[in-house]
Amino acid sequence: MDAKGFEDWVRDHHADLYRHALWLVGDADLAEELVQETFYRAWRGRGALRRRQRPLPWLLGILRRACFAEIARRGRYAPETYFEAGAPGGEDVAHLARALARLDPAQRDILLLYALHGLSYAEIARQLDIPQGTVMSRLARARAALRKAWGGPWEEAAVIPFPGSRR
């Protein structure tokens, strides 16, 4: 992968990687640093990406490892500073931040892989190194927990494909 290809990666994926880090660690400054760190490592390790492999799952793998290392070091999740200080999205987004704070990091992570990036069950299974059936059950539990914490008129239901995703 050459410099031009790397620029395409950055332009195509930095925003979603930033969002993933922001929602996962709950700190905007830290999210920025984690995204920069991800691309720095990606550039240095670009030879490991197989030809025709999609870069996003690979970049997500780097980012998520860095995020979980940071979560283990910090031991807390406090997104209020960002999400309740005039961040875009209004009250529903601030409410979601409070709801996600009640979920454990692994539940936030799988919801992000599913809803933010639209990864397929198979891709999530590879990210988490677990069987697809386990992905579905974990996702169902995460969504149920989110539904309870976020509020709304939803009833318990089976996991269905996210609109537009490749499942």
Residues at the contact surface with another protein, assessed by CB under 8 A: 6-7, 10-11, 14-15, 18-19, 22-23, 28-29, 32-37, 39-40, 43-44, 66, 73, 82-83, 87-90, 92-93, 96, 111-112, 115-116, 143, 146-147, 152-155, 157-160, 162-163
Nearer to another protein, 50 or 158 (CB): 158
> What is the rounded distance in angstroms from the CA atom of residue 26 to the CA atom of residue 37?
17
Closer residue to another protein, CB minimum distance, 138 or 143: 143
Cα 9 from Cα 7, distance rounded (Å): 5
Least distance between another protein and beta carbon 26 (Å)? 11
Would you give the DSSP letter of residue 148?
A: H
Rank residues 52 and 118 by Cβ distance to another protein and give the closer one. Answer: 118
Q: What is the DSSP string of 13-65?
A: HHHHHHHHHHHHH--HHHHHHHHHHHHHHHHHTGGGSPTT--HHHHHHHHHHH
